[in-house]
Amino acid sequence: MDPDLAAPEAPVFWNAADAPAVVSLIAPLPPLGIGSTTVAQFEPDGEAEDNGLSRLRLRSGSALVGQLDDASATQIGVLIPFDDDWPIRIAAAERLRSELIERTADPPLTRQRRERLKRALRCVDARESGASYRAMATVLFGARRVADEPWKTSSLKAQVARLTVHGRMLVDRGYRRLLRGQVR
């Protein structure tokens, strides 16, 4: 991963077995007489990988991976394996369909949950750098709010501690739950 790239511009790598909540393979439809949309309608930015897969990034930021020789002309479909993750994969495919066709897909994470995840991971980074809970609370909530309560019994202190525990769980094993579409 190139640290100089912004996250939305960095190539997306994942193992499809670990991330069933991501639609990881699109494919050209065989001639079955079924009509479908083409990727070109969504103005993708595409790149061919060494392994024969094409990675397409839609304007919305979603990334699609598949074997497409001519993505601009090919009608596409999603391949979904019959496995234990079927319900997760169907939900991901439905989100993709809503995004592509109806342009109304809800994000899998709410804005509030995404903010909590960011704060939790920032807390883990801060603790690993030696920051105190008080210093972390000052950065997250501002010096004035921290000073308004007695620190020993502060609700902000408790919140930072919970965020740190949650962030540690995410780093240790929780990220896999996110990849599986289990956002709680």
Compute the distance between CA of residue 91 and CA of residue 171 in angstroms, rounded to an integer. 25
Residue 170's pLDDT is 87
Residue 145 φ then ψ, to 5°: -65, -40
Three-class HEC string of 115-157? HHHHHHHHHHHHHHCCCCHHHHHHHHHCHHHHHHCCHHHCHHH
Helix (H) or strand (E) holding 178: helix 175-179
Chain-centroid distance, C-alpha 134? 30
Compute the distance between CA of residue 91 and CA of residue 109 in angstroms, rounded to an integer. 13
3-state secondary structure of 61: coil
184 residues of the chain, pLDDT tens digit each? 677 877 667 665 556 666 776 676 666 667 677 766 666 655 555 555 555 666 666 655 556 666 655 555 566 777 788 888 888 888 888 877 777 777 666 666 778 988 999 999 999 999 999 999 999 999 999 999 999 999 999 999 999 999 999 999 988 887 777 766 666 5
Residue 92's pLDDT is 80
Residue 101's pLDDT is 73
Residue 178's pLDDT is 72
Partnered with residue 63 across adjacent β-strands are 57
Residue of 146, 149, 118, 121 lying closest to 133 (CA atoms) = 146
Q: Where are the domains of the chain?
A: 7-102, 111-179
Compute the distance between CA of residue 68 and CA of residue 66 in angstroms, rounded to an integer. 6
Residue 24's pLDDT is 62
Residue 122's pLDDT is 93
Long-range contacts of 154-162 (CB under 8 A, 24+ apart): 157/133, 160/123, 160/133, 160/136, 161/133
Q: Is the pTM of this model over 0.75?
A: no
Start-to-end C-alpha separation, the chain: 28
Residue 68's pLDDT is 57
Sign of the CA dihedral running 172, 13, 180, 163: positive
Q: How many other CB atoms are found less than 10 A from the CB of residue 17?
A: 11
Compute the distance between CA of residue 36 and CA of residue 29 in angstroms, rounded to an integer. 8
